[in-house]
Amino acid sequence: MLDSNQRTLDSRAAGLAAQGYRDHMEQPRPRLDADFVQERWVRLYRPGPWRAMTLVGAVIACVLISTSASVIIASGRSLGERLVLLAVGILVAGGSLWLTGRGMASGVWVRDAGIRINTLRSSAILAWSDVKAVEQLDTALALVTADGRRIATGISARSLDFLARPEAYEIASTALSDWWLKHRA
């Protein structure tokens, strides 16, 4: 059975190739040399499953609140009460969208020029030359700046991205240390 499926896939691929379609793996990839500069921000690690579940739960709660407000609006209340409930529903829905977007963008991003740390409430961008050390404090990583400040990176064994995933924490902490070692001034 496996051979007939493979022959079917091969014949389809041959038909597509005859029509001018090419497999993306056949296309030559540009070589990276020593002059390559990473100009785009790259996330050091993917969001963990606990973060995704927390964000989905928050969105579901906000949708339920908005739906409840719309049901109450539809009931025969006065115009003033309806407008207040409509405003509350819009604020909750907007907050839900903001929380989802900001929650998914939270994390550590790097490029050759520096590091960006996004949290729910703030963002910090530092040039690699401003980072004097990467320290491990208990189970979390922090950056030490030239003026001695410690900036939490969010890479912690207890964060939602690494909870119950010690190997992912080790990979992310090693990746951050490697980026700093490679790009420090």
Q: What is the domain-level CATH number for residue 164?
A: 2.30.29
In a domain? residue 83 = yes
Distant-in-sequence, close-in-space partners of 57: CB < 8 Å, separation ≥ 6:
none
Residues 112 and 145 in one domain: yes
Q: Are residues 138 and 164 in the same domain?
A: yes
- DSSP class per residue in 98-124: HHHHHHHH-EEEEETTEEEEE-SS-EE
Residue range(s) defining the domain that contains residue 140 = 107-183
Residues 177 and 117 in one domain: yes
- In this structure, are 89 and 119 located in the same domain? no
Which residues neighbour 173 within 8 Å (Cβ) at sequence distance 6 or greater?
136, 141, 155
100 and 111, same domain (yes or no):
no
> What is residue 162's predicted lDDT score, i.e. its pLDDT?
93
Total domain count, the chain:
2
Of 58, 83, 104, the residue that ends a domain is 104
Side by side, the strands of the sheet bearing 114-118 are: 42-43, 107-111, 114-118, 123-127
- Do 161 and 174 have their domain in common? yes
Are 59 and 86 part of one and the same domain?
yes
Full pLDDT tens readout for the chain, 185 residues: 445 555 655 665 565 556 655 555 555 666 677 788 888 999 999 889 999 999 899 888 888 887 887 787 777 678 888 888 788 888 888 888 888 889 999 999 999 999 999 998 999 999 999 999 999 988 899 999 999 999 999 999 999 999 999 999 999 999 999 999 998 86
Residue with tokens 């690690």: 45
